[in-house]
Structure 1
Amino acid sequence: MNIVRTAKLKLTCSSEQRSRLQAVTTAYRAAQNHASRWAFEHGKTSSGIAIHKGCYAHIRAEYGLASQLACSVRDSVSAAYKTLWTTTKQSIARLKTAQGQAARKGRRLPRLYRGLDHAPVFKALTLEYHYGRDYSFKTGRQVSVMTLQGRMTVGYDGWNAHLDDLQHLETDIGAAKLWYDRPKKQWYLLVAYTVQKPVAVRELKQVVGVDVGQRYHAVTKVMNPGADGTVTMFEGSAHRQKADHYQHLRTKLQAKGTRSARRRLVSISARERRFTAQRNHVLARQIIDANPLALIGMEELAQIRERTERRSNPHASKKQRHANRVRSTWSYAQLRAMVTYKAPLAGSLVIAVDPQYTSQTCPQCTHVSRENRLQGGEQFTCVNCGFAEHADIVGAVNVGLRAWQWKQEQEQQDLSGCLSAIPSREAEDVTLYDAEGGVRSAVEAEGSHKPATSVVGC
């Protein structure tokens, strides 16, 4: 399995070297904004060829960037516009789909994305280097990087595991990003590289189901026959209290509006995002360390916000606004991405399973009904057989059962080679189910069954 990792290298710079890095990143940012304005004025184009013809000569002459850096400016602006166009088209498609559903069931319409109403503005002091063209590694933990005055050699340090990976001949080193950490006043070089970590399905010793949510960020259940069925629940109340504190602080500072309040807003900007990322990193590591050599099943929850009903109007209550904000900041995708890339490093594998009715299906009699979990509470009680358990544990069991079924199918077909946990295109349609209606029996559930997993071979 090919795993892309990022090595964070701390650059050891003198005052003169810092000035050169500051100058090249400032010029790079100014060139990006110039190319962005040009693309916006010429039909909001995302064509790299058009941007190159219209801006390359001006960028070289006006900002003094080397040829490869000028091409990197073109590529970054083109990628930004392609992302905006894709997001805008997806927003229009969701709006058209929701209009029909709103007419039938009275649902609210999603907001139309308006990212292309103005030219994107690049603010960060970052730039992208290409390995072998703009930067290269030297002996003695030194790296040569391009500046406005030519190449410059600086020392670096980093995590030993990353440094060892970079020294291997099998490691495929890719592009790097020069980044300035303003609070620490430190320059970093973020180097992307690819390593090979083969994972065989037959060597996986256990199957683990993971149910993600907001009350409990993750609930894991070991599914191996004969095992004790260990259940681990990672509560999210402490994280939510901290996130609410940041939101309350931002609201107060924005309402105050003084110069010192604005300075304070800048200093705490993105603090909640960094706090959430750190929480997900720790949670992903805890899940993997507690379940070595495991097949980990996680739900495919793409477009979950568009598929769940939320009231959004100027007269919404404070409680409803808080619920909307909590749901919109739910970082389940980030958690799954972190577990996915960390798992192969520990010899495990993550697959995405179909999330349909995992919270409504009885794991004993397979009866599916919304009445099994009344009002979305914590208690699950089957109306058919009387089975009772914590609802999040039931969800983890159902996810684990689907992962176990996939493992059995792979072993029967003798497909125990190198696999990748990248969702397939077919999995995108799996999650587009009716969240309101549901199914009422196991027979109906089997009739509406879709592929339960999405794993693509290397």
Structure 2
Amino acid sequence: MKQAITLRLRIVLAANETQLLQETMCQFAAGCQLVSQYLFDHEFVLDQYALHKALYHRLRADIGLKSQMAQSVIRHVVANYKTVQTQMKSEPYAFKDRYTGQWTRCPRDLTWLRRPLQYRKPQLKLVRNRDWSWLQDDRLSLNTLAKRIRVTPYLHGFEQYLTPDWQLGVATVVRTGAHYFLHIAVTKEIDTVDRPHVKDIVGIDRGLRFVLVSHNGAGQTNFVSGKAIANKRAKYHRTRQKLQRKNTKSAKRCLRRLSGRENRWMSDVNHRLSKTLVSQASPNTLFVVEDLTGIRQQLGRQALTRRELHSWSFFELEQYLRYKAALAGHAVIAVPAQYTSQRCPKCGRIDKNQRDQENHTYHCVSCSYQSNDDRIAAMNLFTLGQQYQSGSNHPRFIKEVIG
């Protein structure tokens, strides 16, 4: 299989090169907005050939883009709309009938969009060996609307991905504050871990109270508390509220500085958590996580604030775990989350009343087994991993109907 990651390299530019690159990024974003508006006005026909025929000359003449950049604009916008289309299909609109009390789910598509996708932030997509290339003096050659420029990248440990077994791909130029970064997509062909070669299984339960709880074949359970993370997120939230209430120019400047800082901090936390899981695992380990697709819609009916619900970065943690595990020779599978917190891992009895969510405890009325409810979920995920290792392609728990 091919494993893809993104190298985030900071690049150093001269004063005149900064202006050239910034102008190119602004025009590229303007081209993206033109294509986005055209798709919105023409029933979202995501056909690159048709878009090329309709918009290529406008992108060249009106926006001033070069040939390769005009094609990159079309591909980039089409890919974004396809991503939104997939997200809408996976999260249908749900509403409750006030007469019958039943919930109805309506499928969604791109026609539900009230406005086209916006491209206000300057950006630039560069194709390998056409718009950007690596020079012999370890500098990078980047294409702009005026001319090609040479920039110096800061590698900072990314040298391991510049070997011949890694294939360089499309690069994206972004600006964060006063600095410019080049995000380079690299891919590598790696070997997958077959089921017979799995030597250990680790079940991982993710949540808010505990960021993750892991349980392995030796019976060891590790808890990572989410209290410190929740406190820091609450601190960021209070700071933003305070600055928004002031609504002064200095407060707005401070908000711009804080923009993205919380997300970068949380990404670093997820990186360290996933790295620890992978580094401490034995060779050929199978990590089992819950498939949490649509979990926000399900938890939205519970007693959780909107801020708590949408600041839960469970998907990012899973993505980091997947690529780090693949590079280290491990495997990750996602299994259905049904009954993982209701099933007794000892006798297999499934009863939601056995779990006390307020006190975070679990007590089986059949075999009297007791433990932390998050630990119970991790143990059940370990059991699903055993089912997968035994040959089941769709491991899951099924509740038996008694009587």
Q: Same fold (TM over 0.5)?
A: yes
Q: What's the secondary structure of 2:237's corresponding residue?
A: helix
Equivalent residue runs for 1:144-223 within 5 Å: 144-160=141-157, 162-168=158-164, 170-182=165-177, 185-201=178-194, 202-223=196-217
CA separation of 1:18 and 1:88: change in aligned 2, threshold 3 A: same
In the alignment, which residue of structure 1 is the partner of 2:330?
Answer: 348
Give the whole-Å Cα distance in 1 for the aligned partners of 2:202 and 2:119.
42
In the alignment, which residue of structure 1 is the partner of 2:73?
Answer: 73
Give the whole-Å Cα distance in 2 for the aligned partners of 1:257 and 1:106.
44
Give the whole-Å Cα distance in 2 for the aligned partners of 1:210 and 1:145.
43
| Equivalent in 228, 231, 237 of residue 238 of structure 1 | 228
CA separation of 1:274 and 1:211: change in aligned 2, threshold 3 A: same
CA RMSD of aligned residues (A): 2.9
- Deviation for aligned residue 1:44: 4.9
Any gaps of 5 or more consecutive residues in structure 2?
none
CA separation of 1:254 and 1:106: change in aligned 2, threshold 3 A: farther
Deviations 1:34-77 (A, max 9, x none): 33333333445544344333332222123322101011112222
Any gaps of 5 or more consecutive residues in structure 1?
312-319, 411-423, 434-438, 446-458
Amino acid at match of 1:298: V
The number of residue pairs the alignment matches comes to 399
Decide whether the 8 Å contact of 2:132 with 2:140 is kept in 1: yes
- Deviation for aligned residue 1:258: 2.4
Q: What's the secondary structure of 2:391's corresponding residue?
A: helix
Equivalent residue runs for 1:222-371 within 5 Å: 222-223=216-217, 227=218, 229-293=219-283, 294-308=285-299, 310=301, 323-371=305-353
In the alignment, which residue of structure 2 is the partner of 1:4?
Answer: 4
Decide whether the 8 Å contact of 1:45 with 1:81 is kept in 2: no
Amino acid at match of 2:211: H
Q: What's the secondary structure of 2:76's corresponding residue?
A: helix
- Deviation for aligned residue 1:134: 1.4
Question: Would you tell me which structure has more helix in proportion to its own residues?
Answer: 1
Give the whole-Å Cα distance in 2 for the aligned partners of 1:215 and 1:198.
36
In the alignment, which residue of structure 2 is the partner of 1:127?
Answer: 124
- Deviation for aligned residue 1:377: 3.6
Give the whole-Å Cα distance in 2 for the aligned partners of 1:394 and 1:270.
35
CA separation of 1:364 and 1:239: change in aligned 2, threshold 3 A: same
CA separation of 1:49 and 1:307: change in aligned 2, threshold 3 A: same
Deviations 1:104-140 (A, max 9, x none): 5566999x99972123221222211111221122212
Q: Identity, % of aligned pairs?
A: 28
Q: So what's the TM-score if we normalise by structure 2?
A: 0.89
CA separation of 1:286 and 1:103: change in aligned 2, threshold 3 A: farther
Amino acid at match of 1:210: I
Give the whole-Å Cα distance in 2 for the aligned partners of 1:286 and 1:237.
19
Decide whether the 8 Å contact of 2:198 with 2:389 is kept in 1: no
Amino acid at match of 1:242: K
- Deviation for aligned residue 1:276: 2.0
| Equivalent in 363, 366, 369 of residue 381 of structure 1 | 363
Q: So what's the TM-score if we normalise by structure 1?
A: 0.79
